[in-house]
Amino acid sequence: MEPNEPNLDDYMSTYNKRNVNNLIYILKQEIEEQTQTNKILKNENKQLNVEDITNFISRNKSEIDYQLTEIETLCEQLTNIVNENTSLRQEEGLYLETLKQEESISVANKLAKIKKLKTDIQLFLSNQGIIIPNV
């Protein structure tokens, strides 16, 4: 298998039908909330928005600092385990042959696309200042 080519074992252990369905539900909710926000922004006093931002910073700054530190630690751990898994995957045999089958590759590609779409929409929303629950 090519190093950057999705393979089914990357996704089998983490695929959860309920989580994907929850993501779909959350995205639909976010669309509704953004529609409401859009209506409010078109009609509200801009000074109230500045006060909301100031209050948000006061309430959340220390929690955000903690979350950043925690995520940095988790990312380092995840990088290490993924690198180890990549090395272990190089072993030959029936396992590797099964992963190379057309059906395995097809399902892996679909799961990779779901994961990419999830990441892309979360990144897009995050860049817009919108945080949705992670599923």
Domain range for 31: 8-127
**Claim: this prediction has a pTM higher than 0.75:** no
- One DSSP character per residue, 56-104 reads HHHHHHHHHHHHHHHHHHHHHHHHHHHHHHHHHTT--SHHHHHHHSHHH
The span from the CA of 55 to the CA of 80, in Å, is 38
**Cβ neighbour number for residue 8 with a 10 Å cutoff:** 22
**Encoded tokens for 120:** 């892309």
Instruction: Output the pLDDT for position 1.
Output: 53
Mean pLDDT score, 98-114: 84
Please indicate, yes or no, if residue 1 is contained in any of the structural domains: no
User: Mean pLDDT score of the chain, rounded to an integer?
Assistant: 82
User: What angle in degrees, to the nearest 10, is found between the helix axes of 17-43 and 102-127?
Assistant: 20
What confidence tens digit (pLDDT) does each residue in 26-54 have?
A: 889 889 888 887 876 776 666 677 787 78
User: What single letter denotes the amino acid at residue 13?
Assistant: S
Please indicate, yes or no, if residue 36 is contained in any of the structural domains: yes
Owner of token pair 């999705």: 6
**Encoded tokens for 94:** 């029936």
**What is the 8-class DSSP label of residue 132?**
-
Mean pLDDT score, 82-102: 76
Please indicate, yes or no, if residue 132 is contained in any of the structural domains: no
For the chain, what is the domain count?
1
Please indicate, yes or no, if residue 109 is contained in any of the structural domains: yes
Please indicate, yes or no, if residue 123 is contained in any of the structural domains: yes
Percent of the chain whose predicted confidence (pLDDT) is above 70: 88
Please indicate, yes or no, if residue 80 is contained in any of the structural domains: yes
pLDDT confidence band for 92 (50 / 70 / 90): low
Owner of token pair 């751990």: 77
Instruction: Output the pLDDT for position 73.
Output: 93
